[in-house]
Structure 1
Amino acid sequence: MGYEWLALGAAMLWAISSLISMVPARHLGAFAYSRWRMACVTLMLSSMAFINGGWATMTFDYVTIMMLSGVIGIFIGDTALFSCFTRIGPRRGGLLFSCHAVFSALLGIWLFNESLLGWKLIGGILVFSGIVTAIFFGQRQSDHSWEDIQGKLWVAIALGLTAALCQSLGAIIAKPVMQTSIDPIAASAVRMASAFAAHFTLRISGANIAKPTNPITLPILGMVAINGFLAMAVGMTLILYALRYGDVGMVALLSSTSPIMILPLLWVYTRRPPSLSAWIGAALAVIGTSLIVSH
């Protein structure tokens, strides 16, 4: 399987998990939700790495780099993303987060001398244009609570862009390590454990921002665990595999199609079809993705 399909698979899992996250994230608050999710995923990935012998591929140098990647990309990035989602919903938040493809492409060209030329460049432009068209111009009136804007819009925009930038930086930091023989599952476990440790430290410090909005319940914990398994245990591991074989910018671009994949899922959930602009944007993204994968 090529790295393109790994990145697209991660995008689909992120789309599904973003919908699952809305209820527990608004119930617990962004910080408490992220902390519980990271605790669940750290346990999952650590167990998987122990079973497959992945821990034997880790060295001290790798650990420190992946810890830095985890703190920036997951602790800061993921928490900012779900803070954004709780304010403006997964559809609008998805547009802001998709900017990580632009950040990653620019950083990849600058740091790793990556290139985006020919049909891949055309495909990349179509994918990003499709995302913008589908999410930004595809808005319509909806009576669903997920479409409500809670709080100040500029705060949500700042959080979404922060999440996108941190996602890009986390991938850039992890890229050199992922090109070695390190086990991606063990690498994901280290990233997740470092993010959870940062969250746990913040919680025991007594900071008000880290306190849960409401106490956790068994159904909420179940949703958190399922979301964590799909998005982080599987999705982020697929991204790390993709980074081993593909350019940072291209992996980011393909994984940023998750806002497009959210559209039919939202249609099923809210029973309101996306607008014509949303479908046009989706078509552009599909055409662009086809050009990238086939060249």
Structure 2
Amino acid sequence: MRPEIMALLAAACWATASTFSVGPTQRLGAIGFSRLRMAFATLLLWTLALASGGWHSLHPSAMGLLAASGLIGIFIGDTALFACMNRLGPRRSGVLFACHALFSALLAWVWLGEVLWGWALFGSLMLMAGVMIAILWGKRSVESHLWEQTKGSLAVGVALGLTAALCQSLATLMLKPLMTTGIDPIAASAVRTSLALLAHLALWFSGWKPARAGGPITLRDAGWVFLGAAIAMVLGMTLILKALHEGQAGVVAIFSSVSPIVILPLLWLIYRRRPAFGAWIGASLAITGTALILSHP
């Protein structure tokens, strides 16, 4: 399977899981939700790694990079993303997080020497523009759904979303050289989530008040968190690491940024209203850009 297709499938996983996450995140708090999500993901990933024997591919020399990537991309990045979602909702947090595609393309050029030219560059620009247009102008003016309301400071929400995007970019680029060594993506994901979980537990045991905030965990919320962890952290993250093994980091990041496009029909089901005209324009641009990249490898 082409790395671009794997990145698209990962984006679909993240979009689907985000619809499960809004309610539990608001009830448990961003930190409490992320901690429980990491616990479920770590359990699932290590079970798969042990069952498949993928843990044999882990080498002590890779642990430092995996740990740093997990702390930056999962512990800081994911927590910032869910805190942003709590404030701005999934649609607006999506447009901020989609900036990781631009960050990744620029950083891949600086650090890895990856350069996009010709139709691939044009298609990438169309795809990123489509994602932004679909989210920014994808809401009807009369929409008053709870997910469209701003809670707290708008500036803080924007800062959290951009922090999540930057952390995602840095974590992805850190893993690119490592994934070319043949390390098992499931085992690599297990190490990353383990370090993120340890950081969350250390924060919780420190007694820091925000880390202990949030409501009680109900069986229903635990079920949604488990399902989201399985889809986003286990399946989605594994697909991204596989894509990094075979493709350019910048291109993989650009394709994985289409989550906001994928989430539009899901929000349609929730709102019971068709997306606005801008959403269709943005989605059309993104699809055209994707086709250009895939047809001009």
Taking the aligned partners of 2:248 and 2:85, their CA distance within structure 1 comes to 28
1:5-34 C-alpha deviation (Å, 9 max, x unpaired) = 100000001111111100100010000000
1:231 is matched with: 232
Other structure's SS at 2:161 match:
helix
2:163 is matched with: 162
User: Post-superposition shift, 1:142?
Assistant: 1.4
1:223-276 C-alpha deviation (Å, 9 max, x unpaired) = 000000000000011000000011111000000000011111100111011100
2:204 is matched with: 203
1:287 is matched with: 288
Deviates more, 1:134-143 or 1:105-114: 134-143
Other structure's SS at 2:261 match:
helix
Taking the aligned partners of 1:147 and 1:273, their CA distance within structure 2 comes to 15
Equivalent residues in 2 for 1:195-274 (5 A)? 195-274=196-275
2:86 is matched with: 86
Q: Percent identity?
A: 52
Q: Show structure 2 runs of 5+ residues with no match.
A: none
Taking the aligned partners of 1:293 and 1:45, their CA distance within structure 2 comes to 31
Taking the aligned partners of 1:133 and 1:169, their CA distance within structure 2 comes to 25
2:48 is matched with: 48
Other structure's SS at 2:83 match:
helix
Please tell me the residue identity of whatever aligns with 2:195.
S
Please tell me the residue identity of whatever aligns with 2:209.
N
Taking the aligned partners of 1:255 and 1:165, their CA distance within structure 2 comes to 14
1:118 is matched with: 118
1:67 is matched with: 67
Q: Show structure 1 runs of 5+ residues with no match.
A: none
Taking the aligned partners of 1:182 and 1:278, their CA distance within structure 2 comes to 39
Taking the aligned partners of 2:83 and 2:125, their CA distance within structure 1 comes to 28
Does 1:182 find its partner at 2:183?
Answer: yes
Taking the aligned partners of 2:85 and 2:219, their CA distance within structure 1 comes to 22
Query: Scaled by the length of structure 2, what TM-score is found?
Result: 0.98
User: Post-superposition shift, 1:139?
Assistant: 2.6
Please tell me the residue identity of whatever aligns with 1:274.
P
Please tell me the residue identity of whatever aligns with 1:205.
S
User: Post-superposition shift, 1:76?
Assistant: 0.2
Query: Scaled by the length of structure 1, what TM-score is found?
Result: 0.99
User: Post-superposition shift, 1:64?
Assistant: 1.4
Other structure's SS at 2:183 match:
coil
Give the count of matched residue pairs. 295
Taking the aligned partners of 1:209 and 1:107, their CA distance within structure 2 comes to 32
Taking the aligned partners of 2:61 and 2:295, their CA distance within structure 1 comes to 37
1:122-158 C-alpha deviation (Å, 9 max, x unpaired) = 1101001101111112232312111111111000000
1:179-209 C-alpha deviation (Å, 9 max, x unpaired) = 1111000000000000010000000000011
Give the alignment's Cα RMSD to 1 decimal. 0.7
Equivalent residues in 2 for 1:27-38 (5 A)? 27-38=27-38
Taking the aligned partners of 1:200 and 1:290, their CA distance within structure 2 comes to 44
